[in-house]
Structure 1
């Protein structure tokens, strides 16, 4: 499968500050790729370079085999982009903005546009100056998803949307994939990324620290166990692979290294277990693995 996006040894400095450091990343044709990290990690800087809005200090970015900075005009004919904070012309209505932006594009699905307006419950007769942040996002999403682009780039696209509208967005992203399109989704909503994405890249302080499918990365995290027994779990604290053990009124809660799950279950089978619950590691677990200490420190 061909790569739609190829980033090699990408570095971006602003004075002495290094926003991106030797970043390598590929996004394959037809996949939904999640790009996650907290504010300041380098997500938006990466996207601005992909869009040709910033020139890299070192390294290169290619879209459809072309240099993203040198050939940005041609590349933009095949891209739809939604930023996390949309600014619109305040004296135009939402419908006028959508129609104007789509008039600049070659491949537009007008039936899908009307469907999107209805699904997002957008009042296109209102002037943009009267829109909330969520409605401004809807204008951008309707415009982007009405385009028949090859690559959709979403940078925190559901910021300001309620959960029902987030669900509508997710439905249309899945439809993009069914049509063979490629999606780069940068989001702080981990459940959204986990629900949609084929692969995930985690960026930390300008560097990619993990890339892969959730299944490939889950071996790096621990499963959560809740166990209730009629007799005490003797020696549970000495079992290999068990961490963060707590016990209250015969209910034990702990985490288990995924490569030790089988042995832990064999150990538990020796006791009179009334209840056993296990939870697979989530994207949030993986995210906290890299950012947990900083979050505790309030960084």
Structure 2
């Protein structure tokens, strides 16, 4: 199966900033791939490279089997793109902007666009300038999908939209994947991503911390609370294939987020000198994201002391 998008050792350097640092991933057809990251993590730079608007400093990228640096127009013909602030001609009506855009695509674009607008109940004679933000987003999505692209790229598409419009976007992503098409979603809306994504990638300061199927990622991440009889006690190191995503000392408790932690590692840790107990609990996607980007799961200053929270109480926490 040919990957829809591939990135190999992708690097993008600006003056005084490394936006991307050796990014590697591959996206298979018929899936929703979610790229999570804070503002400034490099998500938009990644999309600009994928669509041929930015040439990487080094590394390679292909989209639908095409190198976007060599054939950017061919890539753009085969993808649909929606940003958080779609650039639409305000002086045009909803119908006129569909007619105008149809001139760049094969026959069939305009009927598909009109059907989408009708489904969203947006009058064709209404000027773009008179549309709400949610309606503008629906017009942008209709324009992006009318030529039935192989790949739909969404860059923070639901930012500032009401719940009903966000639901429409989520349903469109699921429908695309179900039809064998691919969706690349860039976002920091964790709860929305968790509802639709097949694969999660977390980008932090230009580097991918994790890339894995959502279910596999959540199953592989564990929070450990290691209670010590003395805060100066040194515990055994956690070796490969496990990976420590964050590690902090809170009084007599050592709190770690570990990927691929095994029962054998638990037994070794629990039997170490000075270790009173070892408790495990699974993590939500939001907690995994925080651990990968912040390097800590501690509560903000002013909340109750995390060291005072029992493992039983911690296990009952629900992240929304």
1:126 aligns with 2:160: no
Task: State which of 287, 290, 293 in structure 2 corresponds to 1:288.
Answer: 290
Q: Separation in 1 of the partners of 2:30 and 2:107?
A: 18
Equivalent residue, structure 2, for 1:182? 182
Q: Are the counterparts in 1 of residues 257 and 291 from structure 2 also a CA contact under 8 Å? A: no
Equivalent residue, structure 2, for 1:157? 157
> 1:210/1:256 Cα in 2 relative to 1: closer, same or farther (>3 Å)?
closer
Equivalent residue, structure 2, for 1:26? 26
Q: Are the counterparts in 2 of residues 108 and 148 from structure 1 also a CA contact under 8 Å? A: no
Q: Over residues 251-284 of structure 1, what are the superposed CA-to-partner deviations in whole Å (9 max), with x where a residue is unaligned?
A: xxx9998857xx9xxxxxxxxxxxxxxx953211
Q: Separation in 2 of the partners of 1:108 and 1:169?
A: 22
- For the residue of structure 2 that corresponds to 1:209, the secondary structure is strand
Q: Separation in 1 of the partners of 2:262 and 2:174?
A: 33
Equivalent residue, structure 2, for 1:221? 221
Give, in angstroms, the shift of residue 64 of structure 1.
2.4
> 1:255/1:75 Cα in 2 relative to 1: closer, same or farther (>3 Å)?
closer
Q: Separation in 2 of the partners of 1:107 and 1:203?
A: 39
Q: Separation in 2 of the partners of 1:171 and 1:107?
A: 26
Q: Separation in 2 of the partners of 1:18 and 1:60?
A: 16
Count of residues in correspondence between the two structures: 263
List alignment gaps of at least 5 residues for structure 1.
225-235, 246-253, 264-278
Equivalent residue, structure 2, for 1:91? 91
- With 199-208 and 87-96 compared, the bigger mean Cα shift is at 87-96
Alignment of 1:244-263 (within 5 A): none
- For the residue of structure 1 that corresponds to 2:192, the secondary structure is helix
Q: Separation in 2 of the partners of 1:138 and 1:215?
A: 30
TM-score, structure 2 as length reference:
0.72
Q: Separation in 1 of the partners of 2:91 and 2:121?
A: 21
Q: Separation in 2 of the partners of 1:286 and 1:71?
A: 37
Give, in angstroms, the shift of residue 244 of structure 1.
11
Equivalent residue, structure 2, for 1:50? 50
- With 46-55 and 9-18 compared, the bigger mean Cα shift is at 9-18
> 1:38/1:122 Cα in 2 relative to 1: closer, same or farther (>3 Å)?
farther
Q: Separation in 2 of the partners of 1:285 and 1:294?
A: 9
1:210 aligns with 2:210: yes
Q: Separation in 2 of the partners of 1:297 and 1:175?
A: 39
> 1:98/1:160 Cα in 2 relative to 1: closer, same or farther (>3 Å)?
farther
- With 47-56 and 150-159 compared, the bigger mean Cα shift is at 150-159
> 1:199/1:92 Cα in 2 relative to 1: closer, same or farther (>3 Å)?
same
Give, in angstroms, the shift of residue 195 of structure 1.
1.0
Q: Separation in 2 of the partners of 1:163 and 1:286?
A: 25
List alignment gaps of at least 5 residues for structure 2.
229-247, 267-280, 302-320
Q: Separation in 2 of the partners of 1:108 and 1:100?
A: 14
> 1:223/1:114 Cα in 2 relative to 1: closer, same or farther (>3 Å)?
farther
> 1:95/1:223 Cα in 2 relative to 1: closer, same or farther (>3 Å)?
farther
TM-score, structure 1 as length reference:
0.76
